[in-house]
Structure 1
Amino acid sequence: MTTKARKDDDYYSILNCNRSATYEELKQSYQELIRKYHPDKSGGSQEDFLSIDKAWKTLRSVDSRAKYDRYLDSETDYENSHLVHVELSKSQISFNHDNTTNYPCRCGGTFVIHKEYLDEEECLIECNDCSNYLLLK
């Protein structure tokens, strides 16, 4: 799942925890939510399931959690965030017939860039496989 990053949809909120939550609290919430929203269960949602999983994958590691916390603390200075691993100019992008383009991430995943993102001054795009971001300017 590729999503645009928004601070109001932060990983702590996705896991129903606050930023002071312990590893065990995050893990317990993750396990409960992943069971509840599993796509094979009634009322489950693949989109919710993937969001929960991505939040857990970021917050379970001390290093990536610290980087993510720094990102949340920043106002709009995404360039200083260690989560931004590539920066692209809007002029560097060409779109295919469905108004999207893929850009490779260093993890082997991809950033899916939609043409509508060009309407924004700056846009953070999340890799579909890891917690890296692309900054589109």
Structure 2
Amino acid sequence: MDYYALLNVDVSATQAEIKAAYHRALLAAHPDKNASSTTDIAALKEAYRALSSPEFKKHGPRPAQIVSLSEFTEHPEDETWDHPCRCGARYTITVSDMDTGRHLVPCSSCSEVVWVGYEVLDE
């Protein structure tokens, strides 16, 4: 289950944003407020509990797939590489990201995350 999508928050959302999104989702799903809602309130509670957990944040999101940097399109003018997401948006990684050892890259639109494989070469 994609907890981020369920609460409609980005993978980089703060605890305050997650809490606010949870409350909005509960109100929208509440039978007294929206009799036609099909949202499972138990699933909302599970999503909030998981995303609020320090253990979840420590391990981070599970990547949807592993993608080699060689599959990304290079843009030398701004030192970025991008790759299409299945939602139609893009994953983007920068030289700065790679210099700091960042491999998990979120989609610019949906909650998908990919693990980008590359090696940092010493110059």
User: Quick check: which has more Rg, 1 or 2?
Assistant: 2
Structure with greater proportional helix content: 1
Q: TM-score, normalised by structure 1?
A: 0.45
